[in-house]
Amino acid sequence: MSAIPRLAGPPLLGLNARFLRDPLGLFLRAQREHGDLVELDLGVAGSVYAAFHPDGVRQVLMNGRRAHRQLLRQLLGKGLFTSPTGDDWTRRRRLLTPLFRAERLAAMTPLLLRPLDAAFDQRWHPGARVDLGAEMKRITVAMMVDATFGARDDVDRPAARAALSFLLGYVDHQLFAFPTIPRSWPTPANRRYRADIAALRAIIGTALVTLRRKPGTEPTFLDGLLAHQGDFTDHELVDEVLSIFIAGTETTGTALVWALHLLSEHPEHAEALRTEVAGALGGADPTGERLRGLTRPRAVVREALRLYPPAWALRRVVDEPLEIAGHEVPAGARLIVSSYATHRHPGVWERPLEFDPRRWLGGEGRHRFAYFPFGAGAHQCVGNTFAQLEGDLLLTRAAQRFRLDRPAAPTTGTKPAIALTPVPTPHPLLLPA
């Protein structure tokens, strides 16, 4: 087999500085200049092999094992999101899978609609510019808290929302800021992290006890966990709720920022969305059944996720040699796949840089690993169906109530963190529908 193309950097440092500064640009350059499997030189840290074509992505995700997420475990506990491959991961996956079945999520739609309508009523006023970054974070946090606890009056939802909002930013900073201040130092942020994680765990734990004594009447994540608890302790259930909170809020919120921003820049697709929603629903509430009959909201969400996927890079380790793109990757190698790069691969997608939701309206076949915004294979995010439902619901309700004019300032960049954040944050003008 031929040698694997190598992209090198300066001695000792390698490509580390470039990777920290612009990992997305590095992936695109590597694929464009060197092909579908590239060795990236990370200096004294060794090498990582990047696979870009769906065939290679499949090999990596189906044969590699997930790297240990020690930092996330320290921050959030031992939930599914932070568990490596193995029996413990399988046990946790089986616990969570029933929570995200389509029929159960459809029944949760009224729960999700309440905080969405409240946000629109209180803060989204025609004639004003809306901060999409701040608003999508507030809305998705509120939707997640209500989906977890329901409408019970014995849960301190404002405290849960405040703690979750802070933790999202704190975890993001711990994972991607460089350099970071050790968490043992008594800084204001570290002290608040310890206070908020303790408060959130207490709120969840108390709700579990209360729910056993007084079951709710609405389907929620918490009652679903209790129904399938088996041999899980309450401490483990709290870990899982924290995993759901962190994994399912920041990524969805950022995806919806992009979806709304892209619609504001492409009024023809926004009008097609409004036309379908008006014809199918009029002013009726978007229930789970009604959402299933719509195609445009789902297509817009999928296209936004194609261009700006939350799981923009996934790391794996292989224990045996692996053949990719006509090359042999050695045993023990570290590999990385980037959905951002694969979703923009000119050999895989037509007009890859163009926002066009219509590409999702047909039934054309597509390589299973050409599109993986939430990962793929056994470790695909268990909550991807919930994220799609939130997106469908928000876009449908927004189409019933508003139009978005172009932002005052164009988006000029993308900041990679837990998700891909637009820079600067879009502030489109709200207009009446």
From the annotation, which residues make up the binding site for heme?
381
Label residues 35-70 b or e (16+ Cβ within 10 Å = b): bbbbbbbbbeeebbbbbbbbebbbbbbebbebeebe
Q: Indicate the annotated binding residues.
A: 381
What is the C-alpha separation between 9 and 424, in angstroms, rounded? 30
Which tokens belong to 157?
A: 């939802």
User: Do the Cβ atoms of 175 and 71 come closer than 8 Å?
Assistant: yes
Question: Minimal CA–CA distance to 387: which of 301, 304, 313?
Answer: 301
Q: By CB neighbour count within 10 A (0-12 exposed, 13-18 middle, 19+ buried), where does 175 fall?
A: middle
The angle at the Cα of 279, spanning 274 to 283, to the nearest 5 degrees, equals 80
SS3 call for 179: coil
Which residues are CB-contacts of 376 (< 8 A; sequence separation ≥ 6)?
A: 57, 58, 61, 368, 369
Q: By CB neighbour count within 10 A (0-12 exposed, 13-18 middle, 19+ buried), where does 104 fall?
A: middle
362-365-369-371 Cα dihedral, nearest 10 degrees: -10
Residue owning tokens 């309700």: 397
